[in-house]
């Protein structure tokens, strides 16, 4: 029986691999039940399905939980997706039997609820009561979202805007639309709508919605590949108790992981110390994920190989996260390159054997990685293959001094020219208005002065200008 189960899993993951999916063979460090209990709403199914499609050790358990989650809601398509997976991965499980009765009953109930809400909304429109119309659109949109019709839900939420009479109503519309955009992965749309949510908010509202803004902005920036900006957003999330209310998007553990990992990839040592380790508000998040705090501490203290070992042991966890999965390889590569560069900075030369002992991956050539970093310009060094040394390329001090002197002379000449121009304009009784090059200065009695003012590269005043 065990061999048959293994064969079914092999067939399933071969199919997933052929479709371009990421296969995670190592077991993650989290417990599936405890992990999914940190979330609520539609993100629970999305996370269970990702684990079921990617994790070899947790595949069957995750798919069974995904089916249970789908049947607790109204989305028939989600149930079909989970069933299609489990019937291949574990055809002998009870969940692999298609529940046609549930599908039929749920579909009938969904259609009846849709008809009821649409009828109610028509009645509200006939009565011309704006608040009732807004609530009717909201209820219908939430119903469409619950049954998985995201396009109809988005259109219905947008129709709430004309009837939004208060700032709270406008924020409610924005949050509903952002919820749909997050599920679609429309990061540009999320970034655009988060600004609409924050318009004309009072100080109390800004304080209450600050964690939501930072969480949503961070996810959108992460999805867009803007790691530094995303890191700053997560690090500035703020109040932990308010952030916990948004576990339909991400959990508190996710905030700690995203903030720490993105900071490691995009920030230097000083920023890591000030923005992460010395950040009193973010420290409460790091207590939930101590391995992130330990990895950042190791990097700041110069223990780069230990930092990489900690992160590598949690790679499987990151590959099973719906927002981190696509960026895990890039983030790990950025962190690894930073560690290698920082390790080499204090030395004029280091033996390749020493570097390999600290950073080489099993079964991979570390020298090829160094060659790639040197070619890309990330590492300013050269490899001595005879003595097996990595030698720092020192800058010629004479050339550096001459360049600095020339730059200083050019800056002095430019500054002197600008002072002369300003004196000339003042003596002519003119006033500079605006900042556009094509604008006319004063009454125009000093021909060409506008062009002279903006053409910084010219060394002489234009013909016709009176210079002091």
- What does DSSP assign to residue 244? G
- What does DSSP assign to residue 434? S
What is the distance of C-alpha 202 from the center of its chain?
Answer: 27
pLDDT tens-digit readout, 345-399: 888 888 888 888 888 887 777 788 888 888 887 888 888 888 888 888 776 778 8
Q: Structure pTM?
A: 0.79
> Could you tell me which residues come within 8 angstroms of residue 259 by beta carbon, excluding any fewer than 6 positions away?
218, 231, 234, 235, 237, 276, 282, 285, 292
For 60-209, strand residue ranges (E) read none
pLDDT tens-digit readout, 157-179: 998 888 887 888 888 888 899 99
What's the pLDDT score for residue 435? 52
pLDDT tens-digit readout, 255-297: 999 999 999 999 999 999 999 999 999 999 999 999 999 999 9
pLDDT at 189 over 50: yes
Q: Between 35 and 196, whose confidence is greater?
A: 35
Interval 18-29 mean pLDDT: 89
Residue recorded with tokens 């981190």: 324
Q: Which two tokens stand for residue 237?
A: 């999330």
Q: Are 65 and 95 in contact (CB under 8 A)?
A: no
Helix (H) or strand (E) holding 47: helix 43-54
Kindly indicate the confidence band of residue 460, based on its pLDDT and cuts at 50, 70 and 90.
Answer: very low
The separation between the first and the last C-alpha atoms of the chain, rounded to the nearest angstrom, is 98
In whole numbers, what is the pLDDT of the chain averaged over residues?
85
pLDDT tens-digit readout, 300-343: 998 999 999 999 999 999 999 999 999 999 999 999 999 988 88
Residue recorded with tokens 């080489």: 360
Q: In whole angstroms, what is the distance from residue 200 CA to residue 185 CA?
A: 27
pLDDT tens-digit readout, 395-437: 677 888 888 999 999 999 999 999 998 888 888 888 776 555 4
Share of the chain above pLDDT 90, in %: 52
- What does DSSP assign to residue 441? P
């Amino acid at each position: 029986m065990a061999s048959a189960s293994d064969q079914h899993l092999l067939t399933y993951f071969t199919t997933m691999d052929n479709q371009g999916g990421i296969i995670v063979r190592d077991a993650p460090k989290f417990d599936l039940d405890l992990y999914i209990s940190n979330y609520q709403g539609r993100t629970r199914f999305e996370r269970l399905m990702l684990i079921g499609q990617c994790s070899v050790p947790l595949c069957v358990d995750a798919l069974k939980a995904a089916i249970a989650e789908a049947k607790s809601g109204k989305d028939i398509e989600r149930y079909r997706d989970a069933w299609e997976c489990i019937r291949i991965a574990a055809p002998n499980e009870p969940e692999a039997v298609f529940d046609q009765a549930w599908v039929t009953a749920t579909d009938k109930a969904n259609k009846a609820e849709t008809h009821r809400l649409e009828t109610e909304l028509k009645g509200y429109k006939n009565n011309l009561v704006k608040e009732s119309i807004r609530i009717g659109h909201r209820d219908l949109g939430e119903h469409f979202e619950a049954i998985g019709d995201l396009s109809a839900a988005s259109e219905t939420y947008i129709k709430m805007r004309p009837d939004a009479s208060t700032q709270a109503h406008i924020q409610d519309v924005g949050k509903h639309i952002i919820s749909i955009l997050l599920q679609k992965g429309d990061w540009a749309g999320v970034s655009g709508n988060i600004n609409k949510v924050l318009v004309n908010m009072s100080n109390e509202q800004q304080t209450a919605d600050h964690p939501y803004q930072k969480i949503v902005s961070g996810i959108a920036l992460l999805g867009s590949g803007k790691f530094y900006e995303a890191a700053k957003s997560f690090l500035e999330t703020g109040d932990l108790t308010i952030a916990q209310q948004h576990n339909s998007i991400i959990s508190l553990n996710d905030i700690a992981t995203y903030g720490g990992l993105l900071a490691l990839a995009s920030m230097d040592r000083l920023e890591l110390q000030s923005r992460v380790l010395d950040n009193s508000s973010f420290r409460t998040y790091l207590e939930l994920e101590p391995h992130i705090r330990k990895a950042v501490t190791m990097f700041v203290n110069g223990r780069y190989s230990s930092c990489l070992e900690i992160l590598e042991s949690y790679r499987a966890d990151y590959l099973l996260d719906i927002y981190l999965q696509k960026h895990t390889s890039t983030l790990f590569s950025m962190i690894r390159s930073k560690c290698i560069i920082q390790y080499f900075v204090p030395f004029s030369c280091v033996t390749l054997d020493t570097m390999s002992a600290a950073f080489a991956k099993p079964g991979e050539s570390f020298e090829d990685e160094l060659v790639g970093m040197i070619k890309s310009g990330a590492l300013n060094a050269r490899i001595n293959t005879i003595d097996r040394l990595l030698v720092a390329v020192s800058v010629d001090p004479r050339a550096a001094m001459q360049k600095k002197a020339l730059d200083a002379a050019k800056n002095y000449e430019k500054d002197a020219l600008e002072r002369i121009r300003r004196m000339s304009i003042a003596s002519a009784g003119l006033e500079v208005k605006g900042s556009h090059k094509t604008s006319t200065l004063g009454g125009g009695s000093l021909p060409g002065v506008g062009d002279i003012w903006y053409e910084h590269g010219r060394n002489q005043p234009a013909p016709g200008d009176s210079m002091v």
